[in-house]
Amino acid sequence: MVSITSYLHRTALRDVIARWMRDDPYPDDAVLIAKLLNFNNLYVSRYLGFLAGEIFRELHGDALAFQRVSRKGVLKDIITHDPPYRTNRIDSLIGAYQAHPGRFYGNTPFHGVVYFKQEGPRRIYVGSSRIKRMRRLAEKASRRIVDGLFGAAVTEVIEDKITAAKNRWTRAPLDDDCLAEERIIDAIEKRRCLPEIGTIEINDVAGIKLILEDDERSRFLDLLRRREDCEIIEEEAHRGRYNALNVTVSFHHPFDELSREPPDAATLALMECLGLGAADSASSFVDFVRTGEKKVRLEIIISSYLEMLESEVGRSIHEDRIIEQRMNRRYRGHLARNVEYLMEYLFVFPSSGRRSVGDLPIKLGNRYLPDYFDGVLKELFGIPAIGNLD
């Protein structure tokens, strides 16, 4: 169903997602998911740092510097501090941001690295790398699953209506979306096959953004094509309010080199909650990497400085586009919300340190208020609900 192509062992994760949607968790899922997500996120950060570092050094030489960033506000401060060139529009955008930085979603989490080209006292922003947050990954996976399921189910409903018309019988006057939701829920509850949607690929868990003007892009693409470890899978140009070139790349990662170092302290602490000591976790990590897929996919976004500025503090602010996506979904019923709840629960579960999954608190065929899911997450992390404080 869902293949997160930036990850290793993505087939195993796809199977867990499919089982949980059928309300069929296994007793050992807590350890399995912890490895699939904790080890994957650690390894993504390693190969992303390796490839991004090589790309930026090839483009900008030894004058390169970098800084780790955890909030979008820090990123926006950096990109507006030393512009590589100025226009009236750039000065207007920077002035608006610096006058009211709180209006630009500065507290949004951002798990990334920012790269600079040092020019005397100036640090010119040349790009960044980032790993998609678990909540955003869960949200994207759920949206793609729901769109796929409903699309397939609506097609089946329409075909049934055509057959019914030919046979001169009718059914209850429900719209196609309602009938599709009924069909999907009925299949889940009776453990029948869901509508066939094929494999849904998510390629952008790992991402690199390059600031290159139009006349510099072909040089970079030629550079990328010359790399023996990279293959360009797709180029997609965005035009309109948001302008950039998105390049999907298959990367043959140097797994032997990148698995030598043991896991970091944060990953070891999460695995220790499951009963794995440091030595066992280190050994498991090496085995995880070396037995995983040898190629991963990531997204490289190429944008001019002005267009990048527009996407952070201008006409096409990334956070505004996220809100629009959430508000403009076609399928927003109980089933769609439940898939999102379940995906978020699955992706945050390894951070809870729980040793067993038990009964899943989200059943796709049931109906819940958002308050219920808020309580599910609080209970998962041992946070008392308001009114239940001891």
Considering the domain boundaries, does residue 143 fall inside one?
yes
Please check whether residue 145 is in contact with residue 1, taking contact to mean a CB–CB distance below 8 angstroms. yes
250 strand-pairing partners: 231, 297
108-112 mean pLDDT? 95
Domain match, 188 and 313 both: no
170 has a pLDDT exceeding 50: no
Domain match, 178 and 85 both: no
Residue environment code for 350-378, b if the CB has 16+ CB neighbours within 10 A, otherwise e: bbbbbeebeebbbebbeebeeeebebbee
Domain match, 222 and 283 both: yes
289-299 mean pLDDT? 98
Domain of 341 in residue numbering reads as: 137-199+330-380
Last residue of a domain, one of 311, 327, 343: 327
* pLDDT for position 389: 47
* pLDDT for position 163: 59
Domain match, 224 and 238 both: yes
36-50 mean pLDDT? 97
Considering the domain boundaries, does residue 341 fall inside one?
yes
148 has a pLDDT exceeding 50: yes
Q: What is the pLDDT of residues 249-289, one digit of tens each?
A: 999 999 999 999 999 999 999 999 999 999 999 999 999 99
Considering the domain boundaries, does residue 387 fall inside one?
no
- On average, the pLDDT of the chain sits at 91
Considering the domain boundaries, does residue 390 fall inside one?
no
172 has a pLDDT exceeding 60: no
In this structure, the strands spanning 206-211 and 295-303 are parallel
* pLDDT for position 158: 64
Q: What is the pLDDT of residues 314-363, one digit of tens each?
A: 999 999 999 998 888 888 888 999 999 999 999 999 999 899 999 999 99
Instruction: Return the half-sphere exposure (C-beta side, CA atoms, 13 A cut-off) of residue 35.
Output: 23
Give the Cα separation of 105 and 128 in Å (integer).
Answer: 18
Give the Cα separation of 62 and 256 in Å (integer).
Answer: 26
24-38, 62-76, 165-179, 246-260: lowest mean pLDDT where?
165-179
Surface-to-core class of residue 236, CB atoms within 10 Å of its CB (0-12 exposed, 13-18 middle, 19+ buried): exposed
Domain match, 245 and 298 both: yes
Give the Cα separation of 232 and 295 in Å (integer).
Answer: 12
160-181 mean pLDDT? 61
pLDDT band at 189 (very low <50, low <70, confident <90, very high): confident
58 has a pLDDT exceeding 60: yes
* pLDDT for position 13: 97
Domain match, 297 and 356 both: no
27-46 mean pLDDT? 96
Percent of the chain with pLDDT over 70: 94
Domain match, 82 and 68 both: yes
29-55 mean pLDDT? 97
Last residue of a domain, one of 310, 327, 344: 327
* pLDDT for position 165: 53
Domain match, 236 and 310 both: yes
Count of domains observed in the chain: 2
Considering the domain boundaries, does residue 385 fall inside one?
no
Q: Phi and psi dihedrals of 341, rounded to 5?
A: -55, -45
* pLDDT for position 150: 85
388 has a pLDDT exceeding 70: no
pLDDT band at 248 (very low <50, low <70, confident <90, very high): very high
* pLDDT for position 173: 47
**pTM here?**
0.91
169 has a pLDDT exceeding 50: no
Considering the domain boundaries, does residue 246 fall inside one?
yes
Domain match, 124 and 185 both: no
121 has a pLDDT exceeding 50: yes
Domain match, 320 and 338 both: no
Considering the domain boundaries, does residue 92 fall inside one?
yes
Considering the domain boundaries, does residue 141 fall inside one?
yes
Domain match, 101 and 238 both: yes
Give the Cα separation of 299 and 99 in Å (integer).
Answer: 33
DSSP string, 107-149: TSEEEEEEEEEEETTEEEEEEEEEE--HHHHHHHHHHHHHHHH
Domain match, 373 and 258 both: no
191-204 mean pLDDT? 83
